A and B are shown apart, each in its own frame.
Chain A
């Protein structure tokens, strides 16, 4: 992976951030007893 390539840097940063916030959303709802499905809909 070429880290000097701007496309790699930007896509990598975006994916990393998306992954972090996705996990954060699940965690925040889970600790409130409100688990989510994979698509972030409320678990039935």
Chain B
């Protein structure tokens, strides 16, 4: 079977590979038999073997181990190669995340516009796309710069990656062309394909755009996860498996899910900032109303995608621990552990800003007065949860400080530094953030169904029992049982939170069907709320830089973990301060580019008034 698939792979055309790669989107789960058609994608060592074509030589090429470069094999350009790649790669990731995410929710908004017949949705979707168009070019520029930087500064590593992934890289390039074609056709045909059957054609183009975009995402993810947890190669790094076996490493799907959700949240936050920028600079009430609604929608997208994100992150970390306990400990118990405290600060900022925006937005309707009393209690829980989450466990103390404290851990705050306390805090923060969402959504509605009271009783009961369950599982199993139960019970907490979210959506969906709608005044929201929309992309960008660094650094001194060592002058984990500076530089750089994009997007609508006709003086 293997030989057969090798033979087939040699004859495989690029177009066929392209189609198969597109099929990945549909067949993402890892239960696909490696001996099925996907082995046709086998490029393994094929493309990178020498030019002699033949199965025998291919088989030999497969057994070539990973290179072992020495210090002198890394070209020097006078500055740290790692820093160069760090900045360029992170910038590419920011922009790629943005341009892949925006079409996802734009397509949904456009479809809602078709279903409701409300042109405002269509206009908003088009405006969202306009922002991402400039970003697309910048993504390509940074992508090209990244490829050049990697080939120049890490030639042996790139030679190895090319050998492992082979012709799949050409598939990626082909998909990039397809993405460009779909994107430009989708954007520029908006007006031409606006109504009737033509609109469905336009939606189909949008669907194709997203299919290609997601395929690009999962292919690039496979490269990253191969570096962290290589599969389809032996201990020496020689390729032994098919391209499918190389791709479907243990971390691939967790990263796929995590990046999919994170990209949407990130994209929503960026376009939310655009709406806030336009809201603050609006000169008419009509414009304020439009951009207020746009900002609300963007915040809705960002927070809705953000709510399940911690669970995807949890799955990723669990898989990292399952793959290599050492790698997990490096991330969460070693030098990188302090970065998770910074992560808590950033996520706390996101949740506080997102909630604050919702509370401010309740002023749009008089009906919100029924729920405003709850805001202060939600705020108390969010702040308390935030404080627990940022409490560190192990402090770096001098001898005198330790003597004063009575040990290395504070006797009261110490227990708040470990995972059970943080699990409780995170889950409660998410539950109460959803509560903010729910009361916001209910604010302009009056239910008319006969079972309203019973529905409310059920909803309140679900909140109470879920909160009790989260606290019980965290305290009892977290502090009074062994580690196995501690980890197992965290699933109970996660599912409790998800139950609140799912039941809230379902109950409200039925309860407010045909409800009486109270008047809302779009544009009647404070300017302060717009600053919350600015806080979101800043925190999201920093968070992506931070956690992207953690994800990459867990490989420590390996290019490809346990397979290809990094012998460059930068083969060490930098100090937290240095890493923090790098993340900050790249975050500020990205935000400056975003401001440029906003300016460009606004410039398109700016028209110079025609010059006044020159009147000749009578002689």
Interface positions of A (Cβ within 8 A of B): 3, 6, 9-10, 12-14, 16-18, 20-21, 24-25, 28-29, 32, 34, 40, 42
Interface centre among A17, A18, A20, A32 (most CB of B within 10 A): A17
B453 lies within 8 A of A25 (CB): no
B496 lies within 8 A of A13 (CB): no
Contact A18 to B489, CB < 8 A, known contacts A9-B454, A9-B457, A13-B458: no
Interface centre among B461, B481, B491 (most CB of A within 10 A): B461
Bound CA span A12–B492, Å: 23
Kindly state the interface size class of chain B when it binds its partner.
Answer: 20 to 34
Bound CA span A14–B481, Å: 28
Bound CA span A32–B487, Å: 10
Query: B58 → chain A, closest Cβ, in Å?
Result: 44
User: Which one of A6, A21, A28, A40 contacts B453 once the chains associate, using CB atoms below 8 Å?
Assistant: A6
A sample of 28 inter-chain contacts (CB < 8 A) reads A3-B454, A9-B453, A12-B457, A13-B457, A13-B460, A14-B464, A14-B465, A17-B458, A18-B465, A20-B465, A21-B465, A21-B496, A24-B492, A24-B499, A25-B473, A28-B491, A28-B495, A29-B488, A29-B489, A29-B492, A32-B488, A32-B491, A34-B484, A34-B485, A34-B488, A40-B472, A40-B476, A42-B482
Measured CB to CB, the nearest residue on chain A to B487 is: A32
- Interface 0/1 of B457-486, CB less than 8 Å to A: 110111011100100110010000110110
Main secondary structure of the interface of B (DSSP, over half): helix
Query: B477 → chain A, closest Cβ, in Å?
Result: 8
A21 lies within 8 A of B469 (CB): yes
Query: B480 → chain A, closest Cβ, in Å?
Result: 9
Query: What B residues does A3 contact at CB under 8 A?
Result: 454
- Interface 0/1 of B7-32, CB less than 8 Å to A: 00000000000000000000000000
Contact A16 to B481, CB < 8 A, known contacts A25-B469, A32-B491: no
- In the complex, given contacts A14-B465, A20-B465, what are 17 additional A-B residue pairs having Cβ atoms less than 8 angstroms apart? A6-B453, A9-B454, A13-B454, A13-B460, A16-B458, A17-B458, A17-B461, A17-B462, A17-B464, A21-B465, A21-B496, A28-B488, A28-B491, A28-B492, A28-B495, A29-B485, A32-B491
Query: What A residues does B489 contact at CB under 8 A?
Result: 29
Contact A25 to B492, CB < 8 A, known contacts A9-B457, A13-B457, A34-B484: yes
Query: B491 → chain A, closest Cβ, in Å?
Result: 5
Query: What B residues does A10 contact at CB under 8 A?
Result: 457, 461
A17 lies within 8 A of B465 (CB): yes
Query: What B residues does A18 contact at CB under 8 A?
Result: 461, 465
Query: What B residues does A13 contact at CB under 8 A?
Result: 454, 457-458, 460-461
Query: A9 → chain B, closest Cβ, in Å?
Result: 5
Interface centre among B466, B482, B489, B499 (most CB of A within 10 A): B489
